Amino acid sequence: MTTSLLTQPLDVIVEPERGEITFSHLGLQQWWDTIRERLRQEGVEILLGTDATIPYMDQLDNRVSGYFGDRPKKILACATGKPDQGLWLSVLLHEACHFEQYAEQSPAWTNIFMTHPQTQAQVEATDIFFEWVAGTDHDPDLVEQAFQAVLAVETDCERRTTALMERFDFPFNRELYAKQANAYIHAYRWAYRHRQWYPSDRLPYQVASIIDACPPHIVDHWTTAMETAMEEAYADVVTPKSPRP
């Protein structure tokens, strides 16, 4: 099975201090020039990290591959230091599609905001979900709402990402990307079932048996093959915890 997302080599120059990227691929460059201008018009800060991960917002101990957020300030961030060029470029496209959700105020985006039961602050559904995964007890209905909101926003975003790749004829293996995206989306189902997150050294979108079980197009449901592959891949790391709501 091929593991490379890119179908051709690319020359890419990243200038983090300027928030600039130069691509040898014409389609990627045209897209980036357009989205960069839209981001700036919307007052979105562009953060391009040079490491393999980047701090999430101001959380220095929470490092991610990339993110888009519109509160408390608007930021699109991507870590560009991954050895696999195709991986960080796909993250950039994905986060830009979250920006598109925000710009359109699509229901997938607006529905991720919830009132935190303790602080009464407006937070993202992922905050509620991961607090629960980490052991904080929330109302079962609230956890279910957060889980469904996360699934909806990520599934919609991945559909936008694959459509973007096709529209501009980006040099990506779109079927492989869709399979990896399915592995990521539906890992939330596994986390919801077991109340734990997958191990950081065994990412679902890099586990061959899980990728092989995923369809080559974005799906809303967890197929039997995907469920079985994920359960088998992580059977040795499941720990007894409070059951899901």
Percentages (nearest 5) of helix, strand, coil residues in the chain: 50, 15, 35
Short-list 184, 173, 178, CA closest to 65 = 184
User: Could you tell me if 152 and 207 lie in one domain?
Assistant: yes
User: Could you tell me if 221 and 113 lie in one domain?
Assistant: yes
Q: What is the predicted pLDDT for the residue at 239?
A: 80
User: Could you tell me if 153 and 143 lie in one domain?
Assistant: yes
User: Could you tell me if 152 and 164 lie in one domain?
Assistant: yes
Q: What is the predicted pLDDT for the residue at 243?
A: 53
User: Could you tell me if 131 and 148 lie in one domain?
Assistant: yes
What distances in angstroms separate CA 174 from CA 7, 17, 158, 179, one per listed residue?
A: 10, 31, 11, 9
Domain final residue pick, 65, 88, 104: 104
Q: What is the predicted pLDDT for the residue at 1?
A: 45
User: Could you tell me if 139 and 70 lie in one domain?
Assistant: no
User: Could you tell me if 137 and 185 lie in one domain?
Assistant: yes
Domain final residue pick, 66, 81, 104: 104
Domain final residue pick, 83, 104, 125: 104
Instruction: Report yes or no: 90 and 115 within 8 Å, Cβ to Cβ.
Output: no
User: Could you tell me if 121 and 228 lie in one domain?
Assistant: yes
Rounded-to-integer distance, Cα 8 and Cα 53, Å? 24
Q: What is the predicted pLDDT for the residue at 155?
A: 97
Helix (H, G, I), strand (E, B) or coil at 143: helix
For residue 7, with 0-12 CB atoms within 10 Å meaning exposed, 13-18 middle and 19 or more buried, which class applies? middle
Determine the average pLDDT of the residues in 60-89. Answer: 93
User: pTM of the predicted model, to two decimals?
Assistant: 0.93
User: Could you tell me if 110 and 84 lie in one domain?
Assistant: no
User: Could you tell me if 203 and 98 lie in one domain?
Assistant: no
User: Could you tell me if 67 and 182 lie in one domain?
Assistant: no
User: Could you tell me if 64 and 124 lie in one domain?
Assistant: no
Number of domains in the chain: 2
Residue-range definition of the domain harbouring residue 176? 106-245
Q: What is the predicted pLDDT for the residue at 2?
A: 47
